[in-house]
Structure 1
Amino acid sequence: MLIFFSLCLLHYPVQAQEELNIDSDTVFFTSKRKKINIPFDLVHNLIVIPVRINGSQPLNFILDSGVKNTLITHLYHDDSLDLKEINKITIQGLGEGHSIEAYESDGNEMFMRGIKGINHRVYVLLEDVFDLSSYMGMPVHGIIGYDIFKNFIVKINYSNKNLTLYRPDATLKKKRKAEEYPLHIEGTKAYVHGNVRQHNGDTIKVKLVIDTGASHSLSLYLPSDGRLTLPPKVMKAYLGRGLSGDLHGQIGRLEAFALGKYELEDLPASYPDAESIKLAINMGGRNGNLGSDVLSRFTVIFDYPHSRLTLIPNHRFKEPFNYNMAGFEVVTPLPGTNFYVISNVIEDSPAKLLGLEPGDQLLNVNGRKCHELMLPELLEILKSKPGRTLRLRLKRQQEILDVDLVLQSRI
């Protein structure tokens, strides 16, 4: 599951994880209401919702349709879960590194607004490999997905930042601009078929796993189909982290991607290295995944019980696809504060050529103090438009640096 950020997801996607075991839990409404509305935070195109495990305080979870089991990625000193039936295990997912240790816990209770889950399986990572809190600029404790999608009809209104859960037998009135698509549920993964149009004019039908936990637009696995080719202009990129380490690859622009009657043009696509996706390459005949930079241009209705997906374009549908053109990523070492440092400086990028280094603190952007900027505002500045000059003031140890960085499109 690419998340971040496609984790990608920013492009700093967090990569969704591959096959852990799943238990037969039950998730249900706690009242006779027909639907439950849950406001969410949206950062890097990723949805963050409050979840409680057993008797815990509300914890922040990324809602990730690409993830199979509930993962606890980070706990703070004052967090308490009271987990049941704990076993220590080793797990592995996407990435180029090693497997990691985790606790597997069965028999837990899970709570959301108006929702309760029993016999809930939870995995607790003993190493915070994702560092989601720094990436998201707020405390993030974990990832939840299939347990929600399989039990309800799930409507995501990205414009209003509202999640609506309906009972699985609900009938929703179809909107005028809505288009329905078959949703192919294989195991715990949901797939759609779309068409990509490449620079050579070829149009190729692709099978994509739908991944609300990937912040990018589209990821394509070149080894999955010999007809898939790299665009003529690409750049090497750090694509994020999986359970088993870093994901690397290239980014380039597709001519177009179409789902039914809706076509999106000139969108950036990620092409992970074969080593990064070796565990996913043969799963279900997939050609890649569809991330939230596409999904967030619609109101999306996931109907796993009836195997269908509905898309309704929102105000962002016709917006151009931009990406971070500064050549560096930004993290917040103190989640919840507007304290920003540079990470992952890309080779041959404007930032690299100016000598910016990981760990440099951002103090000021175009006359605005960074402590006055929320993370989404800062990210929008970094991907605003090619040719824009950013006057940056940075701090490196005790030295103050002033640089003029020109945003540059390299794809």
Structure 2
Amino acid sequence: MQQYFIHKLIWLIAILCAIVLPCYAQHFEINSSRKNINIPFKLVRNMVVVQLSINQRGPYNFILDTGVGIMIITDPLLADSITIPNKRTIKISGLANGEDYEALVTPALNITMPGINSVDVGAAILKNDYFNLSGFVGMPVHGLLGYDFFSGFAVKINFEDSTITVCEPTDLGKMRKMHKVPITIEDKKPYLETTITYQGGKKTKNKLIIDLGAGHPLSLENLIAKNGLPPKFIAANLGVALNGPISGYISRMDEIDIGKYKIKKVITSFPDVDYDKRQYTVPRDGNMGIGILKRFHIIFDYSSGALYLKPNSTYKNAYEFDMSGMEYYAGGENYQHLIVSRVSPGSPAADIGIEKDDEIVSINLKPISHMTIEEVDGIFKSRDERALLLEIFHDNRYDKVVLTLKRRI
């Protein structure tokens, strides 16, 4: 689940985007005399995390996400931390085996970043923390920021120096000297047309959502019934919905064409048939996530219907998937405990007896408390046949085991 956590465009968010917020001209604007504003961000487990303040309180950590149409506060405790008058509660029915879910709807909030403020931007506050984003990322995360941020600016993201530059679209100037890919903005989200080549040479035209909040490189939906799975694949847990894990498969596509760029051997997820029965407001074939986007310098210009791309130094790096067979999250005080949430049958971790709810205490004698969760991810994707010494807390005792990584796809 490390790369594939945010398959979050589920019924809840689709319904929220459709019904909960008034139709204000919700956007952000630059409040200084400068034409460009630079915003630092952290790239954590393939999530772009920025800091902002709400109603003079904060800072709070939000994931910047082109895959959501409205601002969503995922940490329900935030409703008690900031002053929000006139909140109203809505019930969302028909989700996850008929259960009802609740969200709070806010009036316009005062949302600020250095040099930037919101105009009539409200939010939906989930009444429960359905996704445990903080545990996944390994640091406090309070919500998702999407269309309202991107709609009023040209937004350049530099993944090499972890800087976002925003400006008025008319002030892009020399930043436009990158390869332009046409996009459409539909239902407050960006889409592009691409050609994907399957193993064996079959090519298909596909409409993909450009989803900065999805950690994977590529996800293809509704295609198993049409084209079947590629010859080589593994079963996997692709993410989390309200009613539990999203099952599916991981494989590779031979190539995806994005404008003039041809990207080879891309790790691709295929949600299973039951999950693919969802109906979207905008028909699509899947989404392109940050696993591809972070290999470019990118500019989103919603006003001109354009995505600008320029390869960065990571462009030619091979696409790798987890080689341990474990999924895990950060827990405990300060997120310094690494807890196993799932073990894939037949994987290296399963072969040595690691089980759900075990705690990984150290890797090669280095305590987990001295590592970031991204460092752990990198180790478990590092090299086929690499042997790692793990200390595991299992059945109320500490064990040392040797885990030999295996490239499974």
The two structures share one fold, judged by TM-score above 0.5: yes
Q: 1:370 aligns with which of 361, 368, 371?
A: 368
CA shift at 1:202, angstroms?
Answer: 0.9
Cα distance in structure 1, aligned partners of 2:95 and 2:45 = 20
**Residue aligning to 1:184:** 184
CA shift at 1:275, angstroms?
Answer: 2.6
User: Which amino acid in structure 2 is aligned with residue 250 of structure 1?
Assistant: Y
Label 1:277 to 1:58 Cα distance change in 2 as closer, same or farther (>3 A).
Answer: farther
Deviates more, 1:135-144 or 1:339-348: 339-348
Deviations 1:72-96 (A, max 9, x none): 1115589612123211112379978
**Residue aligning to 1:3:** none
1:188-337 to structure 2, matched below 5 A, reads 188-223=188-223, 226=226, 228-279=227-278, 281-334=279-332, 336-337=334-335
Deviations 1:355-389 (A, max 9, x none): 21122111221232222212111110011122111
Cα distance in structure 1, aligned partners of 2:297 and 2:98 = 36
SS at match of 1:57: strand
Tell me how large the CA RMSD over aligned residues is.
2.2
User: Which amino acid in structure 2 is aligned with residue 171 of structure 1?
Assistant: L
**Residue aligning to 1:129:** 130
Label 1:326 to 1:42 Cα distance change in 2 as closer, same or farther (>3 A).
Answer: same
Label 1:399 to 1:97 Cα distance change in 2 as closer, same or farther (>3 A).
Answer: farther
Deviates more, 1:71-80 or 1:192-201: 71-80
**Residue aligning to 1:391:** 389
Q: 2:398 aligns with which of 383, 396, 400?
A: 400
Cα distance in structure 2, aligned partners of 1:224 and 1:397 = 40
Label 1:185 to 1:77 Cα distance change in 2 as closer, same or farther (>3 A).
Answer: closer
CA shift at 1:243, angstroms?
Answer: 4.4
User: Which amino acid in structure 2 is aligned with residue 18 of structure 1?
Assistant: A
CA shift at 1:244, angstroms?
Answer: 5.0
- TM-score, normalised to structure 2, is 0.92
Cα distance in structure 2, aligned partners of 1:45 and 1:290 = 13
Q: 1:12 aligns with which of 5, 10, 16?
A: 5
Cα distance in structure 2, aligned partners of 1:160 and 1:231 = 37
Aligned 8 A contact 2:222 2:276 in 1: no
Label 1:260 to 1:168 Cα distance change in 2 as closer, same or farther (>3 A).
Answer: closer
Aligned 8 A contact 1:74 1:140 in 2: yes
Structure 2 unaligned segments of length 5 or more: list them: none
Label 1:374 to 1:171 Cα distance change in 2 as closer, same or farther (>3 A).
Answer: closer
CA shift at 1:343, angstroms?
Answer: 1.4
CA shift at 1:333, angstroms?
Answer: 0.7
Label 1:336 to 1:156 Cα distance change in 2 as closer, same or farther (>3 A).
Answer: farther
Cα distance in structure 2, aligned partners of 1:79 and 1:361 = 32
User: Which amino acid in structure 2 is aligned with residue 220 of structure 1?
Assistant: L
User: Which amino acid in structure 1 is aligned with residue 109 of structure 2?
Assistant: N
Deviates more, 1:326-335 or 1:306-315: 326-335
Structure 1 unaligned segments of length 5 or more: list them: 1-7
CA shift at 1:332, angstroms?
Answer: 0.9
Cα distance in structure 2, aligned partners of 1:95 and 1:390 = 39
CA shift at 1:335, angstroms?
Answer: 6.2
User: Which amino acid in structure 1 is aligned with residue 139 of structure 2?
Assistant: M
The structure with more helix, counted as a fraction of residues: 2
Label 1:66 to 1:307 Cα distance change in 2 as closer, same or farther (>3 A).
Answer: same
CA shift at 1:197, angstroms?
Answer: 0.7
Cα distance in structure 2, aligned partners of 1:81 and 1:139 = 16
What is the percentage of aligned positions where both structures have the same residue? 34
Aligned 8 A contact 1:9 1:44 in 2: yes
Cα distance in structure 1, aligned partners of 2:155 and 2:208 = 19
CA shift at 1:171, angstroms?
Answer: 2.8
Deviates more, 1:191-200 or 1:392-401: 392-401
Label 1:322 to 1:36 Cα distance change in 2 as closer, same or farther (>3 A).
Answer: same
Runs (4 or more) in structure 1 with deviation over 6 Å come to: 92-97
SS at match of 2:112: strand
Label 1:292 to 1:9 Cα distance change in 2 as closer, same or farther (>3 A).
Answer: farther
**Residue aligning to 2:53:** 52
Label 1:150 to 1:93 Cα distance change in 2 as closer, same or farther (>3 A).
Answer: farther
User: Which amino acid in structure 2 is aligned with residue 127 of structure 1?
Assistant: N
Cα distance in structure 1, aligned partners of 2:238 and 2:218 = 12
Q: Which has the higher contact order (CA 8 A, sep 6+)?
A: 1
**Residue aligning to 1:5:** none
Cα distance in structure 2, aligned partners of 1:288 and 1:82 = 38
Aligned 8 A contact 1:327 1:345 in 2: yes
How many residues get paired? 401
